[in-house]
């Protein structure tokens, strides 16, 4: 049976090359199970509206069950490609008409591909947003568990700004920061999934509704929506959910990319803070010694691609009038390609992150390098009554002196600072990274107690 869903009006056959150009079948195949669900709900709307006889409704549901089974076992894709269908929606309609010829001829009654596509896309968004939320929550939970272990060990780390040594922190603090960012990403996905349950577009028709008495609420309930959409013209051209999904994905890959950037550098011999297990590393075709952290580099690239997909999908909708325009097929392609690749990258990040082994001894040993305790000395001067700018200048001068002498800040610097400030004795300030971490006083700081409190709060929110 021919899979095109239009005809009669045309005296000639479509140009094969142009028909192929307009086909989105290969990209749409991922939507197949969601289209089956949409079609089943439309059968319910037809039957509940007394448009379709109960016997035909049973035949259509049985045919759709058969199609669902073929989708699950992989046989549908090959038959769909052989059907010359414009898209997966037409391929499923054609297959149903093969399985139930008489009843299948009525499946599309009162339905346009316009409302069919946007409803199917909403189900896809709901599913992928839930998957994204699960992925991000699992990454956050993993980072949180790693942070608790690192907190127990007391592993130190020189935090950087501008990739220069900044201040000592706990590795647990860094891991908790990663966990926080993914917890926020999970919340964004959750909001998208919730929005994708609000209102069902099915039954909107081409742009104005239909004269057939479809039971839209019955279809909406079957698909898990709270209600039906209010305006057909808005509903069939609305791609907010799809764009929101891409936005949530791009935002989730942001922290994955940022963490990947640090991990790539930490795995270099110059840092040596971490090692990526063989299972997640690759080699070189010419350099025998190489161990490359490819998964994290690919995640960075995928984050850039996700940003591009989001920008492209958003741009593709902004120049369109209300209602449906074929440009939206490109929007759909950007959403599907962008979502599938980006979610795969997010999953790969989760897997690779599990293969990272931190060198706690090396991290801790270098946490004070680069005069990372200098700010603590300036703070101690401020607590002693010295204005902040003068304190900054005094400590900066001691750092310059120590740097020229090739040494770390030591007791001689505390004595000199105390004398310069007019104190009765040496300045009382931490000189090593561990003491610096313990000296922090604010909530949300790298102080071990503050980190422990933050981990407890995050664990509660994830639960």
Phi, then psi, of 165 in degrees rounded to 5: -55, 135
Q: What is the reported pLDDT for 22?
A: 67
Q: pLDDT tens-digit profile of 244-272? A: 999 999 999 999 999 999 999 999 999 99
Token pair listed for 131 = 């998957």
Residue 328, pLDDT score = 86
Q: Rounded to the nearest 10 degrees, how much is the dihedral formed by the CA atoms of 317, 196, 248, 348?
A: -120
Find, among 241, 224, 5, the residue nearest to 113 by Cα: 5
- How buried is residue 332: exposed, middle or buried, by Cβ count under 10 Å (0-12/13-18/19+)? buried
Domains of the chain: 16-109 (1.10.275.10), 114-152+170-365 (1.20.200.10), 374-462 (1.10.40)
* Confidence (pLDDT) at 265: 97
CA distances from 389 to 167, 231, 419, 440, 462 (A): 19, 62, 17, 20, 42
Are the C-beta atoms of 394 and 431 separated by less than 8 Å? no
Concerning whether 162 is annotated as a catalytic residue, the answer is: yes
Task: State pLDDT tens for residues 54-81.
Answer: 999 999 999 999 999 999 999 999 888 8
DSSP per-residue letters across 168-217: EEEHHHHHHHHHHHHHHHHHHHHHHHHHTTSEE-TT-TTTT--SS---HH
> Helix, strand, or coil here: 297?
helix
Distance CA 49, CA 211 (A): 11
Under DSSP, is residue 270 helix (H, G, I), strand (E, B) or coil?
coil
Quick check: 148 and 190 in contact, CB under 8 A? no
Strands 156-161 and 164-170, how do they pair?
Answer: antiparallel
Q: 364 an active-site residue?
A: no
* Phi, psi dihedral angles at 253 (to 5 degrees): -75, -15
Integer Cα distance of 302 and 307 in angstroms: 9
Give the residue ranges of the chain where pLDDT is below 50.
1-2
What pLDDT, on a 0 to 100 scale, did the predictor assign at position 86?
84
The one catalytic residue in 50, 284, 351, 461 is: 284
Query: Tell me, what's the pLDDT at 27?
Result: 82
Q: What pLDDT shows up at residue 379?
A: 98
Distance CA 216, CA 46 (A): 9
Distance from chain centroid for Cα 321: 30
Residue given tokens 């764009």 in the structure block:
243
pLDDT at 21: 73
Distance CA 350, CA 186 (A): 14
Residues whose CB is less than 8 angstroms from the CB of residue 412 and which lie 6 or more positions away in sequence, other chains included: none
Which residues neighbour 308 within 8 Å (Cβ) at sequence distance 6 or greater? Answer: 338
* Residues 323, 333: Cα–Cα separation, whole Å: 18
pTM: 0.93
């Amino acid at each position: 049976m021919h899979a095109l869903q239009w005809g009669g009006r045309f005296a000639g056959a479509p140009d094969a090359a142009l028909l192929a150009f307009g086909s989105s079948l290969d990209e749409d195949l991922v939507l197949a199970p969601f289209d089956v669900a949409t079609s089943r709900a439309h059968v319910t709307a037809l039957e509940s509206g007394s448009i379709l006889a109960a016997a035909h409704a049973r035949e259509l549901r049985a045919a759709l069950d058969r199609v669902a089974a073929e989708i699950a076992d992989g046989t549908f894709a090959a038959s769909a490609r052989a059907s010359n269908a414009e898209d997966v929606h037409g391929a499923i309609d054609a297959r149903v008409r093969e399985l139930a010829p008489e009843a299948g001829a009525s499946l599309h009654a009162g339905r346009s591909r316009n409302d069919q596509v946007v409803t199917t896309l909403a189900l896809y968004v709901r599913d992928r947003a839930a998957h994204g939320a699960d992925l991000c929550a699992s990454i956050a939970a993993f980072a949180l568990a790693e942070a608790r272990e690192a907190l127990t060990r007391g592993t130190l780390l020189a935090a950087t700004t501008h990739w220069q040594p900044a201040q000592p922190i706990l590795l647990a603090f860094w891991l908790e920061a990663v966990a926080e960012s993914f917890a926020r990403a999970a919340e964004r996905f959750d909001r998208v999934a919730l929005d994708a349950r609000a209102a069902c577009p099915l039954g909107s028709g081409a742009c104005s509704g239909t004269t057939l008495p479809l039971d839209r609420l019955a279809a909406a309930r079957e698909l898990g929506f709270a209600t039906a959409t209010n305006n057909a013209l808005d509903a069939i051209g609305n791609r907010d959910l799809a764009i929101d999904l891409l936005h949530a994905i791009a935002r989730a890959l942001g922290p994955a990319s940022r963490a990947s950037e640090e991990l790539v550098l930490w795995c270099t011999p110059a840092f040596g803070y971490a090692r990526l297990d063989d299972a997640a590393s690759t080699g070189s075709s010419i350099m025998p010694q190489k161990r490359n952290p490819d998964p994290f580099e690919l995640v960075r690239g995928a984050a850039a691609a996700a940003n591009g997909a989001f920008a492209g999908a958003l741009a593709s909708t902004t120049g369109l009038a209300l209602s449906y325009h074929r440009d939206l097929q490109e929007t759909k392609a950007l959403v599907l390609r962008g979502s599938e690749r980006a979610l795969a990258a997010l999953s790969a990040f989760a897997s690779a992150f599990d293969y990272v082994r931190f060198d706690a001894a090396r991290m801790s040993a270098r946490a004070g390098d680069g005069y990372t305790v200098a700010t603590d000395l300036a703070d101690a001067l401020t607590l002693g009554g010295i204005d902040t700018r003068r304190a900054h200048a005094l400590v900066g001068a001691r750092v310059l002196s120590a740097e020229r002498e090739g040494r770390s800040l030591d007791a001689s610097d505390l004595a000199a600072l105390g004398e310069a400030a007019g104190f009765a004795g040496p300045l009382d300030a931490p000189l090593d990274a561990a003491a610096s971490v313990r000296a922090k006083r604010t909530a949300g700081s790298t102080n071990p107690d503050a980190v422990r409190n933050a981990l407890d709060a995050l664990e509660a929110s994830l639960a």
